[in-house]
Amino acid sequence: MSSVFSYDFRYDDNECETETSVLQAEVEDSIGDIYLNFVEPGSLAQGGGAIDDTRHKLLRAKHEQFIHDAINGLPSNFAVLDSSQPWFSFWCLNSLDILGCDISQQLRDRVVDKLSRLQSPSGGFCGGSGQLPHLAGSYAAVMAIVLVGGDKAYRTIDRQGMYSWLMSMKRPDGAFTMHADGEVDVRGVYCAMVVASLLNIMTPELIKGAAEFIARCQTCEGGIGPYPGVEAHGGYTLCGLAALDILGKTDALRLDRLARWMSARQLAFEGGFNGRTNKLVDGCYSYWMGGAFPILQKALKRSRTEGYIYDRAALQRYLLACCQDRRAGGLRDKPGKSPDLYHTMYCLIGLSLSQHYVGVEPSEQVTDITSVYSVPVRMMQWGAMPASLLVLGLRSNVVKPVHPVYSVPYTPLASFVKYFYAQPPLADQLV
């Protein structure tokens, strides 16, 4: 597989140099040097040439070692991330699972023991010992337990305590505070909807006004900002769109404007995504933007035969050629940056979603949003469609398919949903 690489695709500052345009040019220089190494010699010309995409290789073993090195101990400078302890579990476990690596029982037990000690008596999970329960930490803890799997791990979660705590975070405008007296933004709605939908604790009171709050966060550009009146951002767009999919209310948005804004986030020269207008490419937006596209496709009722409305091959090229640390392992933001666990996981999710076409055929979509039992049905309708697989480079580069709303592979997600939807719901109807 080959594609044309051309310097003609570079950003044009219209001869108006700014700090932003200078940084953009520096990033494009570093990426252009990498892509030139993949240009077929016979096609090389002044403006570029044809890229040989058969040479791309996912450095699976190095990434696995990078993750295990982190699991075995982090340097002291990571103490500043003490409030992100559930996230480290989530980043490591999810990356290993997506790569298809073995997760030992010892590691699973270690994660459950750690997270059980971070669960607050008042409900929810704390980011670190002695801290307040936090919506982001609770989301990460629940997702880590999804990946651990097994009844023993599932039973560590206090469902009733989680529901009571979520309700205490609920605001009259439909949003949620991230913690007691904390900030309010779309992340809170997403984290709350993911946790509640997975644990079978959704109620009319919990979801009241949530869709309307998200709709108010859509900007004139078309994307979704953190709260009303603030610039659209890739991370908040994924969070808002995914939360609306859980609620079955993606029609609350102006989907035409959203599609236009999202499509503009993929950069023609780099192939990866940025998260805001006039910002630099970043590997993590392979999920925050790339993951939003399957949800948008579903909302637009597009069939898989119509394809994604972004360039899947270009995104894979950026991730495989520019985001892998070939010396230390792990994945990164962009060339010149260091790899980290956050970017490793989100780059791998983006790689997965660009390889596997995941979606729900329009004729098969469940439209009922009244029954609590419609939630798991709509959740598990998502699936990868093998006929639409696109793998750049070596065939061995393929990774596991990932759910775009819940960001984890399907098998552990299905087991978790089966367990918690065998528990009695807190409400039969959602409206």
DSSP 153-196: HHTTS-HHHHHHHHHHHB-TTS-BBSSTT--BSHHHHHHHHHHH
Amino acid in position 273: F
CA dist 226 and 343 (Å) reads 21
Which amino acids are annotated catalytic?
233, 276, 279, 282, 284-285, 333, 340, 343
Structure tokens at 15: 């001869």
Query: What residues contact residue 259 under an 8 Å CB cut-off, 6+ apart?
Result: 222, 296, 300, 309
pTM for the full predicted model = 0.97
List of residues 6+ apart from 295 with CB closer than 8 A:
238, 241, 242, 245, 250, 404, 405
> How crowded is residue 368: how many other Cβ atoms within 10 Å of its Cβ?
12
What pLDDT does residue 328 have? 95
Please report the DSSP string for 352-381 in residue order. Answer: HHHHS-EE--GGG-----SBTTHHHHHHHT
pLDDT of amino acid 134: 98
Angle made by CA atoms 311, 317, 318, in degrees to the nearest 5: 95
> Which pLDDT score, from 0 to 100, does residue 318 have?
98
Environment class of residue 294 by beta-carbon count within 10 Å: exposed (0-12), middle (13-18) or buried (19+)?
buried
pLDDT of residue 1: 44
- Long-range CB pairs of 65-70 (<8 Å, 24+ gap) are 65/329, 66/325, 66/328, 66/329, 66/330, 66/339, 66/344, 67/92, 67/95, 67/96, 67/101, 67/330, 67/341, 67/344, 70/341
CB 331 within 8 A of CB 344: yes
Question: Up-side HSE of residue 88: CA atoms within 13 Å toward CB?
Answer: 24
Residue 406 near residue 139 (C-beta atoms within 8 A): no
Cβ-contact 321, 272 below 8 angstroms: no
Q: Output DSSP code: residue 15.
A: T
3-state helix, strand, coil in the chain (%, to 5): 50, 10, 40
3-state class of 331 per DSSP? strand
Intervals of the chain under pLDDT 70? 1-2
Query: Is 285 within 8 Å of 343 (Cβ atoms)?
Result: no
Spell 75-91 as b/e; 16+ CB within 10 A means b: eeeeeeeebbbbbbbbb
The CA distance from 120 to 130, in Å, is: 9
According to the model, what pLDDT value does residue 42 have? Answer: 76
Residue 306: per-residue pLDDT: 83
